[in-house]
Amino acid sequence: MLLIAAVLIGIVALTVAGTFGYRYFKAVVGRNDDGDRTVRTEIEGQRLRLDLPTSGDVEHVAIWFHGQGADENARMNEPWLNALRADGWAVASSQFHTSSWGSGASVDDTISLTEWMRTETGVTPTLWIAGSMGGAVSLNTMIHTDVEPECWYGTMPVVDLDSVSEVPGATDEITAVWGDAVPSE
């Protein structure tokens, strides 16, 4: 019951933050001080982070797909993700090429993260959580590869790149990633 309450509180907080834009909340995003409970690496120039359960062995693994302008540390110390960790989950994230908007590079990042997590924990990720732009990254991975979770959850996920023209900086970032070939799916 405590886990459900913590996850719901986190979803509300993430939704509020998403409404006002991640960049306004960047200063309050913390980093875990877990020492050996946080594992970091770099693969092909992208930083990866794996927060192990707060105690005990890894029972489940989740991937957090951050929003626009964020990195592998975004939201990783928030109560709703830490509630998962307290319940035996490891939670991982990547830079995903920062503002990648579901590009092929971010799809490759997801595959690298999934393989690295499996090597580190011995457990295949079963839950993908996507915030805002992370929706495009995670959904494009599921569409264009055979890598997919048992459960996908999006909070204010971007599912249509044409729908974010009012988001500050999004149009320029999408053009930089996709040029004139913005995918329709």
Task: pLDDT tens for the chain, 185 residues: list them.
Answer: 444 444 444 444 444 344 333 322 222 233 455 556 899 999 999 999 999 999 899 999 999 999 999 999 999 989 999 999 999 999 999 999 999 999 999 999 999 999 999 999 999 999 999 999 999 999 999 999 999 999 999 999 999 998 998 999 999 999 999 988 887 76
Domain locations in the chain as residue ranges: 2-32+54-178
CATH fold of 2-32+54-178: Rossmann fold (3.40.50)
Helix 79-86 / helix 2-20 crossing angle, nearest 10 deg:
150
pTM for the model stands at 0.80
Q: What is the pLDDT of residue 3?
A: 45
> What is d(CA 139, CA 135) in angstroms, rounded to the nearest whole number?
6
Structure tokens at 156: 């204010």
